[in-house]
Structure 1
Amino acid sequence: MDEKGITIDLSVQGMSCTACAARIEKNVGKMPGVEAVAVSYSARTAWVQYKPGMIEPSAIMQQIAKLGFKADLPENAKEGFEKERSRLRLRLIISMILTAPLLSAMVQHLAPFARIELPELLTNPWLQLVLATVIQFVIGLPFYIGAYHAIRSRATNMDVLVATGTSAAYLYSHFLVFNADRTALYAHEVPLYFETSAVVITAVLLGKFIEASVTSRAQQDASGYSKLLNTVVKVERAGVEMEIKTEFVRENDYVLVPAGQIIPVDGVITNGESEINESLLTGESVPLAKRPGDQVWAGTRNESSSLRIRTTAAGYATMLSRIVDLVRQAQRSKSLIQRQVDAVSAWFVPAMLLLSLGTFVIWVTAVDPGNWTTAFRCAVAVVLAACPCALGLATPISLVVASGRLAKRGIVVKEAGALERLAQLDMLVLDKTGTLTEGKPKIGSMHVTQGSKQGLLRLAAAVEANSTHPLAVAIRAEAVQTGLVPPAATDFSYTTGKGVEALVEQRRIGIGNAGFAALKKWGIGSPTIQRFAEERQKLGETVLYVADNNRVIGAISFIDAVKAFAKPAVTQLRKAGVTVVLATGDHPAPALSAAQTAGIDSSKVYANMLPEDKLELVERLKEQDYKVGMAGDGWNDAPALAAADVGLAMGDGTDAALTAGHITLLQPRMTAIPEALLISRLTVRNVRQNLTFAFIYNALIIPFAACGMLQPWMAGTAMAFSSVSVVGNAIRLGASLRRAAGQF
């Protein structure tokens, strides 16, 4: 639950195209207490945010049912979808069996088969009427139901097109059977279109079944994280081992995980040592050695030996579950392209119905005056050729495939628009610590003018006792390794990005960079300290000054190695046309040293940057019409991450970065950035291919139909398979993304 309300995910059955999803969004969004709603046709899901005191989920599900669809809880989604697909398969099989005899009349009109003698029974108009009636009103009943609910809601969808076109063909043929000259009718001189309505319904069912099958496969690939979720876990309580469902595991429970099993909870190892394979969660293929005191995550695999783990999070609170939620969030969100396509789809069906009517009028009054049969055939062909599904599926199915592939590589996209914007990136601002460098600095050397180095380290560790900054962590780690016990500190005073002061043993001890020393008017310290600082900074080390009652008594230098794959990543970004900029709060010397190691141009290095300075830099670059990305650790860089066109939060094996940026890299590997960029560009290219095909299809097939160059059954069959082609191209994207991942 958040401040705005509670959210719920529902599976939705019965949608025939994206217009159905738009109708659910519109109607549910108007309900009192509903704050936001997003429906995905490709995922067959609805996400609703609501006020619990004003409306309940049951009322939302009832409203969706009134619109002609079935809403269910997510745990029943797979079963419900399979039942829907089974019913679709049954309808398809029966329709194909009943349509086969009707095809004989059509076959006789084709030149190669004109001389083939068929049994008289197969061409009997009354048998055709019976078979077509069953197909039209029994097999095709769901199309009428869907069209009824759409029109009742003052909307249109694909069901309206199918019901209109096939009904026109059926009713026209029905009229001729009862009113045409019997001799001409049995001599097959009267044009009947029973086969048209039957073939179109069969083709649409076949297209829907294929679409449902490949979409289901794409959904399974994209939601591969579900395979990492254990349902039963062995816990130890009061010395007794028992098996319980994962959702009943509590914080501080002790979970036992044998070798070879998936770890079911987030926690800390208390007993045992093992290698943990985190590849399915983070994309890192090399197992990591873990021992008591190390953190482990749900969804990772225990490779070598049994572990006893103290639970810190279980069930929906684990990082894995939150990643699953973020992936779903991205899949249900809409990119700019998708919103534009939805706007076009909203008027597409009414426009096609008007065009069909116009085609009929023009044929019967101008092109071939008085020829009602030809006018009718052309008008029906226009209705059956029009396909809004290909347009509606072009974007979301590709995004589902891409977001699933990225997630398996440890790259979590939080919104579909971020993927689209990432593809346009031409400027990337990098933070230094934790992004370009390892983010785990170590103390390189110390210089003191008063007391000992151990004494200086002891005071510094006391002041940095509560800080999470990497340099503070390095100071505390060095103190522990040296065997020092820092004294208690009180009255802390922090200056973001510069330093901290605290009261230690009745003395005001401070530690910070040169800017902090100047701010606090500590003075420059002794010449030896200044020489020490200059020498260490020339070597690329970071220097902090330590003061006792506003007098500098020493300095500490830190070494933070540039990541091994930083230079290849920067090189790949340059080849992709992206300019890389380094923005850091560090001193110019270590910043330039790190930039040189990584292959970043020295003219693109900005040092001594506070969080607000990074924000200003990002905004300035955007004003210069650059598409700007910002990569940082998700904490101090949060303002810049939010302001950038694409914020990439670098993780460190924890869930800290999940709250920042538009895209989260679960492992702080630099190569994930060019990898995400390549995947985004391949995805956007695939989307554009889909849209191009959909627009070209409609631009070509509809004029052909209107000009009388397509039989209605041909137009209907083409319409059914156009959406299948779009889905197939999106599935092909999956293979392209797997090949792309092999480059990193």
Structure 2
Amino acid sequence: MTVDSNIIMGEIAELEFQLQGMHCTACASRVEKSLSRMDGVSEVAVSFPLRTAWAQVETDKVSLQAMKDAIARLGFTATMNQSPYTSLQRERKLMLMRLLPAILLSLPLLAGMVHHMAGLSRLAAMLPSWIADPYVQLTLATVIQLGIGLPFYIGAYHAIKQRSANMDVLVVIGTSAAYLYSHYAVLHSLGGPYYFETSAVVITAVLLGKYLETTASLRSQVQSDGFGSLQSSYATVERAGEKNRIRTEYVRTGDTVWVGDKEMIPVDGTVLQGDALVNESMLTGESRAVHKSPGDCLWAGTTLDSGRLKIRTTSAGHATLLNRIREQVMEGQRSKSTLQGQVDAVAGWFVPMMLGFSAITFLLWGLLLQPGEWSHAMMCAIAVMLAACPCALGLAAPISLVIASGRLAKSGIIVKDAVAIERLAGIDTIVFDKTGTLTEGRPSVSALDACEEGSMSVLRIAAAVEAKSEHPLAVAIREAAMKKGIVIPEAESLTYRPGYGAEGMLQGERIALGNMRLLKEKGSKLGKEAQLSAQLLESSGATVLYSIRGEECIGIIGFSDSIRAEAPRVVEALKKLSVRPVMATGDNIAPAEAIAANAGIVEVRASMLPEHKQRLIEQLRREGAKIAMVGDGWNDAPALAAADVGIAMGSGTEGALGAGHVTLMFSRLQSIPEAIAISRRTLGNIRQNLLFAFTYNVLIIPFAAIGWLAPWMAGTAMALSSVSVVANALLLGRRLHVDSYEAAGCR
């Protein structure tokens, strides 16, 4: 999100900054805490892997500059209108500019170590004598410590100023102790040993680790953000008969845009002229090109495989579906899972604890284990300090979650927050709505039985009462009326009652259309023939509604809605994942059971109002089940909110982005087991990362404390531990790409 795309809601704005200078997750926590304390800032989220800070602010209470100044006081630089990828590239370039001279200056210091190592006398004789000169070593080490290592001091200063501790504090204290001791030994001619190589190699190793980590973060950005490359910068617009190539942010709604062969479509719109094949795979997940002709919808980011189209723009720039999806994905990526929050809490006290343990190690060696050997005690204490690695713990979850949310988005699965991924992994029961979820959601009138009057009268009244409803059954009624040439009269006082039907007034008479529940409420009687007809329709899987005038039922309308072709495969895939499928629908038991049987679902709950579905979810949760609810995002809103994970089926491409914890943009049922499989693999990857980070600290810190690790070894291990965690997270992206969909059993 850039400043141009900030969402302004009255005096509320959403702002996003790109941050430079953060070295670990503790830095991100400091920014988050500082901004959240500012008056007028209602919500803050900072992502270390993305190097971004997002905030929701009241514009009349806090200014953009005030927030930038607050971030600057913490030692970081905030910029806007820059993608996370660009920000990470710049950070990596700056890191390389420090790393290369650090390596060159550290090599002579490492060579100098040879003179002090037994068994390497021949090699030492081959080296020039000046390498072992204490003043040469002091000069080289000073450039590295106070020049190249200066940003560590600045970071440590700001951390301590905020009464916090991070990786910079550990690096600065550890390397400064080794450098200052050696500095003192040289100036007072103590004759060694000197530990310049310790401070220099640790700084170099940490820089190398951060460079590799930043490179890995860049790769994770590429894996997670498939939508960034789909945004076209220019569009060919026709205005006043002239065609001009302009930037997409200057395209207006209603503009005519031309797109040629192999070009990327830059706007959302409808086809005015032309026939073409359009590749929508990156947006919809469907590999086959889709034929487009006048009247069809198009979306930015898709590509014209062949042909030429004239398009009327409906959305451009930041308002396109592609950009809205991307913003939803970024919102999910910057959120924190429960597990990540717990790890961040541990990392918050980890550094102070390690500083305390380092002090204890120093005193134990100097006073008890080797009394008076303060040089050895200092080296052991420094090794402990440098071995401690909160960064590996802090990176265990966020990069994996960034990659997973990006992979889900490429499959049309939009996850609103990281907690949803965590909860999806534990789902053991999934409750499906019927209409529009397990069925196509495009019902048609399949039967029309009049009780006393003609069938046209039954359909006319039904169309009048459903004239303004967007419910799929209402649409089917209006389409049937239009096909029969019925002029739909205008009804008054229309009301729509979820779970019952619709009512209104027509020419002074009360009319209604609804299910058996509404029929009984009205006290309308149904003849034996009508009852038999309704039973036969329902037993065949049809949905039945009753057309009512006054207190009299004047006819029955049957609707057929075919089951989605993929539904049986999806249900079978869920069972293989040990997930129990349940259907909950407002339809009667007979049509509900018919659809459920075709899908392979055994448990069916029928004739349920929205509040009944909510109670069902709550009951299943009380029984210990981990529930996902799949519905249309509107009528099922209470149940979606009550479930551990609410999965909203999108309405075409304009999916219900505001409903549920997860949105299936293109209503692909296959996405459900895919999402569960991806979430489980992601959580497994995070646990691997946490296990490695925890095991690393448990094993290496005792070795450092007993003197089995030289400080430079401990510092190098600290730097590489973070790289190892990030590398394992990157392997997740490859695994998800190769086999996550197959793991769901839907191919």
Instruction: Identify the residue that residue 545 of structure 2 maps to in structure 1.
Output: 544
Asked whether 1:520 is paired with 2:529, we answer no
- Per-residue CA deviations over 1:47-78 (Å, capped at 9, x if unaligned) read 01111011111111111111110100033654
Worse-matched range after superposition: 288-297 or 467-476: 288-297
Asked whether 1:31 is paired with 2:38, we answer yes
Instruction: Identify the residue that residue 306 of structure 1 maps to in structure 2.
Output: 308
Instruction: Identify the residue that residue 696 of structure 1 maps to in structure 2.
Output: 695
Instruction: Identify the residue that residue 185 of structure 2 maps to in structure 1.
Output: 176
1:679/1:740 contact within 8 Å kept: no
Instruction: Identify the residue that residue 122 of structure 1 maps to in structure 2.
Output: 131
Worse-matched range after superposition: 101-110 or 513-522: 101-110
Asked whether 1:394 is paired with 2:369, we answer no
Instruction: Identify the residue that residue 643 of structure 1 maps to in structure 2.
Output: 642
Distance 1:552 1:104, change over 3 A: same
Query: What CA distance in whole angstroms lies between the structure 2 residues aligned with 1:505 and 1:112?
Result: 109
Instruction: Identify the residue that residue 41 of structure 1 maps to in structure 2.
Output: 48
Given candidates 487, 491, 494, the residue that maps to 1:492 is 494
Aligned partner of residue 261 in structure 2, secondary structure: coil
Aligned residues between the structures: 734
Instruction: Give the counterpart letter for 1:319 in structure 2.
Output: L
- Per-residue CA deviations over 1:686-730 (Å, capped at 9, x if unaligned) read 001001111110111111101111011100000000000000000
1:742 Cα deviation from its structure 2 partner: 4.4
- Per-residue CA deviations over 1:482-539 (Å, capped at 9, x if unaligned) read 3433222222122222111223344433211111111112212x32221111111111
Instruction: Identify the residue that residue 14 of structure 1 maps to in structure 2.
Output: 21
2:462/2:547 contact within 8 Å kept: yes
1:419 Cα deviation from its structure 2 partner: 0.3
Distance 1:570 1:76, change over 3 A: closer
Asked whether 1:383 is paired with 2:392, we answer no
Asked whether 1:194 is paired with 2:196, we answer yes
Query: What CA distance in whole angstroms lies between the structure 1 residues aligned with 2:484 and 2:385?
Result: 81
Query: What CA distance in whole angstroms lies between the structure 1 residues aligned with 2:461 and 2:255?
Result: 38
Asked whether 1:740 is paired with 2:739, we answer yes
Distance 1:336 1:742, change over 3 A: closer
1:238 Cα deviation from its structure 2 partner: 3.6
1:108 Cα deviation from its structure 2 partner: 4.9
Instruction: Identify the residue that residue 474 of structure 1 maps to in structure 2.
Output: 476
Instruction: Identify the residue that residue 145 of structure 1 maps to in structure 2.
Output: 154
Aligned partner of residue 227 in structure 2, secondary structure: helix
1:359/1:378 contact within 8 Å kept: yes
1:3 Cα deviation from its structure 2 partner: 6.8
Instruction: Identify the residue that residue 588 of structure 2 maps to in structure 1.
Output: 587
Query: What CA distance in whole angstroms lies between the structure 2 residues aligned with 1:39 and 1:686?
Result: 22
Instruction: Give the counterpart letter for 1:710 in structure 2.
Output: L
Matching of residues 54-93 of structure 1 within 5 Å: 54-75=61-82, 77-93=84-100
Aligned partner of residue 242 in structure 1, secondary structure: strand
2:655/2:664 contact within 8 Å kept: no
Distance 1:80 1:735, change over 3 A: closer
Instruction: Identify the residue that residue 214 of structure 2 maps to in structure 1.
Output: 212
Instruction: Identify the residue that residue 631 of structure 1 maps to in structure 2.
Output: 630
Asked whether 1:619 is paired with 2:618, we answer yes
Unmatched 5+ stretches in structure 1: none
Instruction: Identify the residue that residue 714 of structure 1 maps to in structure 2.
Output: 713
1:657/1:664 contact within 8 Å kept: yes
Aligned partner of residue 11 in structure 1, secondary structure: strand
1:434/1:633 contact within 8 Å kept: yes
Instruction: Identify the residue that residue 454 of structure 1 maps to in structure 2.
Output: 456
1:390/1:723 contact within 8 Å kept: yes
Aligned partner of residue 657 in structure 1, secondary structure: coil
**Could you say what the CA RMSD is over the residues aligned between the two structures, in angstroms?**
1.7
2:614/2:638 contact within 8 Å kept: yes
- Per-residue CA deviations over 1:428-472 (Å, capped at 9, x if unaligned) read 111011111111112222111334333432332222111111111
2:366/2:374 contact within 8 Å kept: yes
Instruction: Give the counterpart letter for 1:293 in structure 2.
Output: G
Aligned partner of residue 304 in structure 1, secondary structure: strand
1:244 Cα deviation from its structure 2 partner: 2.5
Unmatched 5+ stretches in structure 2: 1-7
1:37 Cα deviation from its structure 2 partner: 1.1
Query: What CA distance in whole angstroms lies between the structure 2 residues aligned with 1:317 and 1:305?
Result: 26
Aligned partner of residue 648 in structure 1, secondary structure: strand
1:40 Cα deviation from its structure 2 partner: 0.7
Instruction: Identify the residue that residue 5 of structure 2 maps to in structure 1.
Output: none
1:14 Cα deviation from its structure 2 partner: 0.3
1:251 Cα deviation from its structure 2 partner: 2.2
1:678/1:740 contact within 8 Å kept: no
Query: What CA distance in whole angstroms lies between the structure 2 residues aligned with 1:341 and 1:369?
Result: 38
Query: What CA distance in whole angstroms lies between the structure 2 residues aligned with 1:30 and 1:307?
Result: 52
Instruction: Identify the residue that residue 444 of structure 1 maps to in structure 2.
Output: 446
Instruction: Identify the residue that residue 677 of structure 1 maps to in structure 2.
Output: 676
- Per-residue CA deviations over 1:327-377 (Å, capped at 9, x if unaligned) read 111111000001101111111111111111110001111111111111011
Query: What CA distance in whole angstroms lies between the structure 1 residues aligned with 2:488 and 2:337?
Result: 52
Instruction: Give the counterpart letter for 2:148 in structure 1.
Output: I
